[in-house]
Amino acid sequence: MNRSNDVQLITYVDRLGGGDIKALNALFSNQLKGVFGGVHLLPFFYPIDGEDAGFDPIDHTEVDSRLGSWQDVGELGENMDIMADMIVNHMSAQSPQFLDVLANGQSSPFWPLFLTRDKVFAADEHQDIAKIYRPRPTPCFTDITLQNGQTVPFWTTFTSNQIDIDVASEAGQAYLERILTAFERNNVDLIRLDAAGYAIKKPGTNCFMLEETFDFIEDLSQQAHSRNMKCLVEIHSYYKTQIEIAKRCDMVYDFAMPPLVLHSLFSGDPSALANWLQISPRNCVTVLDTHDGIGIVDVGPEGDKPGLLNAAQIDSLVEQIHVNSNGQSREATGAAASNLDLYQVNCTYYNALGANDQAYLIARAVQIFSPGIPQVYYAGLFAAENDMALLAKTNVGRDINRPYLDEQAVSESLEKPVVKALIALIRLRNSLAALAGEFSVTQQQNILRLNWQAEQSAAQLTVDFASLVASVTYNEEGLERHVDVSVDGLAQSAAA
């Protein structure tokens, strides 16, 4: 049975269940057997506990031994699709390659691997440097002193521990090829291109999603195709940019969906969501929550070009998240918790909805009945609430939504009615042949309908955003069935 269109899980290996790859495989073979067709393993490379939770690898081709081995990854991939992150923009300042640069400067064989300001800009190009698009308030260059006493401004798009790679250099190409080879040998099916939009830098531009960036993504995708893998491009951007990106790659994220679903539930008006679903890319991965915050830039304007929501709607959306979370999201967002991303609100999706089980199940139903491959984040699967203790311990805003759920926490969470209902909803969605057919969306005032039609089957999700009543009606093999999207309705469906 081909399960490539089934719902997938997003998870850290060390923050779920037994904390290693073998234990995760056991979880999929037992309590979560048959629920997911694939899993996105968030960075499992050495080390997983750097400055950015694995997104600053020292060795991108080595599995952190605390999690297991490549053999364990390969065994997990025998029964489900594996998605792995390919961090194309940067690597750790503690990597052997960069340490060699620190020791030997320009005579290091790895000097061409890393990007410095002076490789892109002349020293006096202040106007060009000012044009650079910044996702964070930190500078895009970090002055680092080599052992010979020379101070060099290295390009650091994200943090000073994440040194940008010159992907156009021979050394950069060879580095990326080594990662592709490691993935190919170990049952990786899907590659998430992390921070790909920043990979190409060019004077006179904003150094984000340039024409050359498209070319870079296309070339990398072709290399992946030759190894029987596909690429998912991870970019937060203006919605029309996302549509254009989707035309030129395997898959993109539907990052507009999370805020649009919240807006629909908060306002009772699904018109913005309906408009988006009429034009959104079909070759997408849908999410409501991820290891990052809830993105806002994806529905906002760009300059004088209107967004999917206007400024007042976005302000209201963000404020309602803060209200629903009893101010916890405010404590975790922006400068309040050393949060480095300018366009995200840190909160679990469950708490963003005020821990309202019915609203949460409707949000998930909209996600998984929309076009694309749905991915559910592990904290969202278990309806986890904001981890204020972890936030207080680390003072990293995104940790509010990155809980450590041990085996006991998983077992207890699996008994929650809302979690049982969500799993039943996922199983129902995976079973419907109609979702391989044609999609259409209709909206009348506060009612949204997501329709799927195949040759011999049909399915429809109907949501009343005013009353928070929703249902799935489907016709398979001539039999029509109706399931209420609610804790009780989905429990009855699972028992039938």
Q: Known catalytic residues?
A: 194, 234
DSSP 3-state of 301: coil
Two tokens, residue 204:
């006179």
Two tokens, residue 441:
């969306």
Angstrom CA distances, 147 to 151, 230, 442, stand at 9, 41, 64
Q: Label the pairing between strands 479-484 and 38-41.
A: unpaired
Q: Phi-psi category of 229—alpha, beta or left, where left has phi over 0 and alpha has psi -120 to 50? A: beta
Q: ω before 47 within 30° of 0 (cis)? A: yes
Q: Phi-psi category of 108—alpha, beta or left, where left has phi over 0 and alpha has psi -120 to 50? A: beta
382 secondary structure, DSSP code:
T
Phi, then psi, of 90 in degrees rounded to 5:
-160, 170
DSSP 3-state of 79: coil
Residues shown for the chain: 496
How far the first Cα of the chain sits from its last, in Å, is 23
Cα(348)–Cα(321) distance, rounded to whole angstroms? 10
Cα(280)–Cα(438) distance, rounded to whole angstroms? 14
254, 287 in Cβ contact below 8 A?
A: yes
Cα(372)–Cα(480) distance, rounded to whole angstroms? 24
Q: Could you tell me which residues come within 8 angstroms of residue 210 by beta carbon, excluding any fewer than 6 positions away?
A: 200, 202
298, 239 in Cβ contact below 8 A?
A: yes
